[in-house]
Structure 1
Amino acid sequence: MNLFNPPKQVKGVYIRFGENPFVLLSLFFRQAKNQNWSQQEITHVLDKAKKGNYAHLVKTLKAHIHH
């Protein structure tokens, strides 16, 4: 469910289920910023991630992380 076409992913973020949601969002934000994502792209992913429960947040972030 990547929000971009072609899919865009951040490298170097490791999501652990059970981690504080604020920490997960911050990790994603920092890495995306360091990898030259635009503020609009980052905000788009974070807003979508925050529109559901914890599982939705993790699923959305993982869809935008390169493993």
Structure 2
Amino acid sequence: MINKHLKENQIQQRKLIKGLIIRYGEIPFVLKAVFICRAVEQKWTKEEIDQVLNEACGDGYKNFIGVLRSYSDKHHKNK
């Protein structure tokens, strides 16, 4: 229960990219490049960008899309 509450709290405090639209079916390299460009434009640090990309990569395409969408204000559930 504590872990679930902690995870929900982390998601609520998550820094979001403004104007990032992640479309299912897009090439991962393109999505990664767009994410990086938007993050740099919005003054994210290299560490913040690397943290998101490390979280996104490795568990398949659906996870990749899901993680990137969770950092997008256009897809975020807690607007």
Report the TM-score, using the length of structure 2 for normalisation. Answer: 0.77
Q: Return the structure number with greater helix share.
A: 2
Match of residue 34 from structure 1? 41
Q: Which of 1 and 2 has higher RCO (CA within 8 Å, sep 6+)? A: 1
Count of aligned positions:
67
Identity across the alignment (%): 33
How far apart, in 1, do the equivalents of 2:44 and 2:11 lie?
A: 12
Structure of larger gyration radius: 2
Q: Return the structure number with greater strand share.
A: 1
Q: Which residues of structure 2 form unaligned runs of 5+?
A: 1-6, 75-79
1:55 to 39, 45, 62: 62
Q: Which residues of structure 1 form unaligned runs of 5+?
A: none
Offset of 1:23 from its aligned partner?
0.4
What residue identity is the alignment partner of 1:61?
L
Report the TM-score, using the length of structure 1 for normalisation. Answer: 0.89
How far apart, in 2, do the equivalents of 1:11 and 1:39 lie?
A: 17
Q: CA RMSD in A?
A: 1.9
